[in-house]
Amino acid sequence: MSSLMAWVEYMRSDPDQYDRSITDEIEKDVQRLETITARFSSIGSVPTLKEENLNEVVRQFTDYLAKRISTKVKMSLTSQLPPGQLVKINKLLFEWVIENICKNAVDAMKGVGELRLTIALLPNHEVAIDIADTGKGISKANMQKVFSPGFSTKKRGWGLGLTLAKRIVEEYHKGRLFVKSSEVGKGTTFRIVLNAN
């Protein structure tokens, strides 16, 4: 990343040859890359989990996301969780998981539809976070494949979002991530299950 920044500086020093607006955009991309790396730097080592107010974390992050996605996506959040309920998570990584599932949902809806987040308390001291969209759905044949590295139906997809999301939820939070239901042409619901103690 620092060498990319050095190239940006190099291009800056010759504005006749390298258009300033392009250099600025490259710089923004490098900064974005830096944020993402910061989020993942804890993945190589063992990320620390902290007790967080789950309702608050999800509400704040939903607000943040709502501002960044198409206004034609109606986003909503409902929670059955008692206010103040604490759940052990790594906030940055957990938010990254929510962001990626929501981004997939927006893609599946082509930017138009409903995106509903629901938090529910399950028996056995578990918490379920459901993310439901009204998008194109996932075919039976693809249901198992969506979590495989490299599986993507998108022109520019890496097919890594769900692979990493599953790893974050299952390996680092000892939870579960799966497709709760999906119907082609109707929509999909992803479920994250975490332990609430």
Ligand X SMILES: Nc1ncnc2c1ncn2[C@@H]1O[C@H](COP(=O)(O)OP(=O)(O)OP(=O)(O)O)[C@@H](O)[C@H]1O
- The answer to whether 83 and 122 are in contact (CB under 8 A) is no
Draw the binding track, 119-138, toward ligand X (x: CB under 6 A; -: no contact): --------------x-xxxx
DSSP designation for 81: S
| Interaction between residue 161 and Mg ion (CB under 5 A) | yes
CA distance 50 to 172: 12
| Interaction between residue 151 and ligand X (CB under 6 A) | yes
Q: Which stretch binds ligand X (CB under 6 A): 4-12, 26-34, 84-92, 160-168?
A: 160-168
| Interaction between residue 104 and ligand X (CB under 6 A) | yes
From 65, 73, 67, 94, select the one nearest 195 (Cα to Cα): 94
**CA Rg, the chain, in Å?**
19
Task: Name residues whose C-beta falls within 8 Å of residue 104's C-beta, 6 or more positions apart in sequence.
Answer: 161, 162
Q: Which stretch binds Mg ion (CB under 5 A): 15-23, 55-63, 99-107, 183-191?
A: 99-107
Which one of Mg ion, ligand X, none interacts with residue 188, CB within 5 to 8 A by kind?
Answer: ligand X
| Interaction between residue 181 and ligand X (CB under 6 A) | no
Taken in order 106, 108, 109, 115, the sign of the CA dihedral is: negative
Q: Which stretch binds ligand X (CB under 6 A): 3-11, 54-62, 119-127, 154-162?
A: 154-162
